Amino acid sequence: MEQLITKAAWDLANSLYAVALTGAGISTESGIRDFRGPQGVWTLNPEAERMAYRSYERFLEDPRGWWEEMLNRPRVSLLGGLEEVKPNPGHYALVELEKLGILKWVITQNIDSLHEKAGTKKLLEYHGSFAKLRCVSCNLRLRRDEIDLTKLMQENQLPPRCSKCGGIIKSDTVSFGEPIPSDVAQQSLEEAWKCDLLLICGTSAVVYPFANLPRVAKQKGMVTIIEVNADITPLTEEGVSDYLIQGKTGEILPRIVEEVKRMKK
């Protein structure tokens, strides 16, 4: 393990354009459950997975009804109350790599906004953020508190409309079956194509199209792909990643950063 940490630090320190891909695993040490780990939301409650798949169809059929349902139920998602959750050393390690000028982008599947809270600036939230809203027509994003949703409901004005194009506003979180917003999808693909190092943290890499990103990078070639994960994943098994550092992101990523700093001195 020690050797792999040094190797990852060396690879990062010598990269020209490093990009990180993250998944639910980087947030489990903040107390948010993942979906497919042993204590995962789907692992313990398969019915919840089936229900989640219905939500986007409901939105398309009846956006007003969808919003009313959302606002009438307690604002606790499947993952628990996300407002209070704090970033952990794994998130902060990625901030440090960005400040060192090594990490050019973090592309996350997480909707918990913990990378943003930790201070990552160049961030693509592939599945959106629970803290934002998005216009389904033009992709304009707003903070949730920029629209008084309760007032709109009381005045019978739901669904909220975009101030720029008049399109329907939805929560930014990408629902199951919903296409990835075109701006984020396009830029993520470009970054995967451009990078010469990919640092993949805490994702089982089975949710598509996100799981295509490492494969796109691999196909292009001239790239080092490092996984930091508690378990082996399809990327490990298929040889998409060059090596896996097996363990917790909250412990391994800070050690890699320490080593990078030592090398840069």
Q: Which of 165, 206, 232, 263 binds Zn ion (CB under 5 A)?
A: 165
Q: Which of 167, 234, 247, 254 binds Zn ion (CB under 5 A)?
A: 167
Tokens 């840069």, residue?
264
Find, among 227, 203, 251, the residue nearest to 88 by Cα. Answer: 251
Catalytic, 115? Answer no
- Measured in whole angstroms, the distance separating CA 38 from the mean position of its chain's CA atoms is 20
Tell whether residue 241 is a contact of ligand NAD (CB under 6 A): no
**What are the C-alpha distances in Å from 54 to residues 34, 85, 140, 216, 227?**
20, 27, 25, 30, 32
Least distance between ligand NAD and beta carbon 169 (Å)? 20
Residue 167 interacts, among Zn ion, ligand NAD, none and using kind-specific CB cut-offs from 5 to 8 Å, with Zn ion
Q: Which of 17, 29, 60, 215 binds ligand NAD (CB under 6 A)?
A: 29
The per-residue DSSP string of 212-259 comes to: HHHHHHHHH-S-EEEEEESS--HHHHTT-SSEEEES-HHHHHHHHHHH
Among 91, 104, 115, 127, which one carries the catalytic annotation? 127
Within positions 171 to 200, which residues make up the interface with ligand NAD, using CB under 6 A? none
Tell whether residue 52 is a contact of ligand NAD (CB under 6 A): no
CB nearer to Zn ion: pick between 133 and 198: 133
Q: Which of 15, 110, 171, 175 binds ligand NAD (CB under 6 A)?
A: 110
Residue 119 interacts, among ligand NAD, Zn ion, none and using kind-specific CB cut-offs from 5 to 8 Å, with none
Residue 229 interacts, among ligand NAD, Zn ion, none and using kind-specific CB cut-offs from 5 to 8 Å, with ligand NAD
Whether the bond into 46 is cis, omega within 30 of 0: no
Report the DSSP beta bridge partners of residue 243. Answer: 226
User: To which H or E segment does residue 201 belong?
Assistant: strand 197-201
Distance (Å, whole) CA 147 – CA 158: 11
Within positions 65 to 104, which residues make up the interface with ligand NAD, using CB under 6 A? 79
Which are the catalytic amino acids? 127
